[in-house]
Amino acid sequence: MALPQSRVAVSAPAFVRRLARLGDLDLPAAPALSERLGQWLDWNRAIALSRALDGSTAGPSDAIPVDAEEAACARARATLTTAILRRDRLDLLAGDDVAPFHRHCLDLQRSMQAATGQLRGRLRDALAKGTADQARLAEVDAVMEMTLSPREQTLLAATPTLLGQHFDRLKQTNADAADDTWLATFRRDLQDVLLAELDVRFHPIEALLAALRSSPVSGTP
């Protein structure tokens, strides 16, 4: 079955475009990041962020084993990607009920959240041992994670629901079909959305890795 045509701006992230396409949704123009942060930051977080941004320029500058950190991130991402793409798990899920797919999606989201959260904390610890600018970035990232993660998790929690609606539409549209090729379409869409979500969750990790690579003393001693 042909999927609904996307009506999302080209600049929208791939993850958002995929969800909007599956849900046949229009997305309003996003306000400026500074405007959103102004709405989300309470006084305590604003003060913590200000202190991090105005931190001292003096600090430690130890050698950081960037290669080890990159390898840990690559292993975690490969493991999560393999879990998303495992055909045997999807093939076992029943085609008449969306509930097993819903649980499958939630399980993978929890795995992604746990793994990326650990990696982000690990990278901040590494940055804190680097230059003063790197240590300041680690502090800023910690504040930003506390501020944005609750909203991120609320938004990501809508993914299984949108996928469930997509499942129901495909099932209803193909109710009279002699085969279940629509189910294969849904499985591919489920994998595509989860892979796009994995990209979103790795954005801050990739940024922290880039900051580690910028250290003049980076690399394995």
| Burial per residue of 80-109, b for 16 or more beta-carbon CB atoms within 10 angstroms, e otherwise | beebbeeeeebeebeeeebeebbebbeebb
Give the pTM. 0.78
What's residue 6's pLDDT? 36
Q: What is the pLDDT of residue 24?
A: 63
Q: What is the full per-residue pLDDT of the chain (221 aa) written as tens digits?
A: 333 333 333 345 678 777 777 766 655 555 554 455 555 555 455 445 556 556 554 455 556 678 999 999 999 999 999 999 998 878 878 678 899 999 999 999 999 999 999 999 999 999 998 888 888 889 889 988 888 888 888 889 999 999 999 999 999 999 888 788 899 999 999 999 999 999 999 999 999 999 998 765 444 44
Q: How far is CA 29 from CA 4, 11, 41, in A?
A: 20, 10, 21
